[in-house]
Each structure stands twice: as structure tokens, then as C-alpha cells.
Amino acid sequence: CVVLHLWALHAAGQNNPVGILIPKDRAKKDMLPFHPYFTVKDGFAIILFLILFAVFVFYQPNALGHADNYIPANPLQTPAHIVPEWYMLPFYAILRAIPDKFGGVVAMFAAIGVLFVLPWLDTSKVRSMRYRPTMKTFFIIFLFVCFGLGWCGAQLPDAPVVPGMPSFNLIDGQLNSYLWLTRLFTAYYFVFFLVLMPVIGLREKPLPIPATISEPVLPSTAAEKA
């Protein structure tokens, strides 16, 4: 991965917040040297990460864990509530959303596997969502859905989403439950990747894309002089 990253960095150049391809004749004017700009940026990010990591390790080691993980396993008794690590909670929620066990396993691995075919599902020729307002809206909803799946994965499936709210039984569970909320989020998760991303990429008309990085930042006169 490191070798491929370095090769792509020297072959195509670094990315930019605008998300546009830099013409070769303007590469020296629009691109920054790797050192000291990017070495300082990466070093600063590493320091911030280590500070945050140290806070969890030394002061809040159980903040992202679960107390049941410290109970010795009993092969004769299934835990009442199995809670995986926090980063697997969205996929665990998808696993529980399907009533059939095999179907749940297939859905969980499909939710992970769809991330590997993402380059082929994105049919848009524009790399930055800054110029794709329609896709940007659906992507913000997708982020909310991902956090929602993580929250649902940490809750009991039969627990009510809104305590005290009247509800009725729908198929195999109460409508006012994390089970049905998870199913709603799961449906949007797959629709986003398999339907919205390919279709919107083909149908959406993006906003005008600047020719260079300096064009949307500097005045037109300054960009021409550069």
C-alpha cells in the first residue's frame, strides 16, 4: 500500500480540496512541494492522533468497550446481549436486521464487500461533491444512516426507539423498535451504493468546474498573472 501510494503521488500528484485534475502546464504553479508542506501536515495529524489515542488508553480505556466482554465465556450459556467492538456495530446491526440467519450473514458481508467495488459503482466523472449538490445531499443522509446503524447495533433489537410511544406489531416485531429502524437504515445503505450512486452519477448535472485550483480562490486577474 505504501509503494502504491508513493507511486500514485509521483505519477498523478497529490489531491486537492477542490477535487480537480491539475493540467500539466500548471502543475508547478498549482501544486506544492511534498516537503515541508505535506510532511508538516502529516506530522501534525499524527501528533493529534497520538494525543487522542493516549486519552483513551490512559484515561478512558473502557469508553468504547462493553462490560460484558470481561465476563469469562460459558460454552453452555449464550450471552443475553452480544455487543461487538464499536467499529463493527453498523455491520452487526445489519446482521440482526434480517430474520433469516443465513440471510443476515450474507447481508453483513455484502455491506462490507460493496465497499471494495465502490470505484466501479461511482459513475460520475467529477471527483469532488462540492460540484454535485444532489449527490452531496444523499451522502449527508448516508452519514447519518451509518451513525444510526452503529447506535442501533449497540441497543437491544426489541427495545422501543421512543419509550412510551404507542406501536403495533409488524411481521416479526414492534414498529417502534430498533429492529425496524435498523431495517430502514439497512435499506438505505444498500440503495445508496447500488442505486443512487450509479444513477445519480449518470443523470446529475454538476456545477461548473474550475480549470485550476487558483481560479476559485484568487481573483481572475491574479489567476491570469499566475
Just give the CATH number of 84-225: 1.20.810.10
Q: Strand 173-174 to strand 169-170: parallel, antiparallel, or no bridges (unpaired)?
A: antiparallel
The overall average pLDDT reported for the chain is 84
Distance CA 150, CA 186 (A): 11
pLDDT tens across 127-164, in order?
888 889 999 999 999 999 999 999 999 888 888 887 77
To which residue does cell 445519480 refer? 200
pLDDT band with cut points at 50, 70 and 90 for residue 95: very high
> Hey, which residues does 173 pair with through a beta bridge?
170
The reported pLDDT for the residue numbered 221 is 45
Query: What's the pTM value of the predicted model, to 2 decimals?
Result: 0.78
pLDDT band with cut points at 50, 70 and 90 for residue 217: low
CB 179 within 8 A of CB 169: no
Distance CA 191, CA 185 (A): 10
Which candidate, 13, 48, 51, places its Cα nearest to that of 29? 13
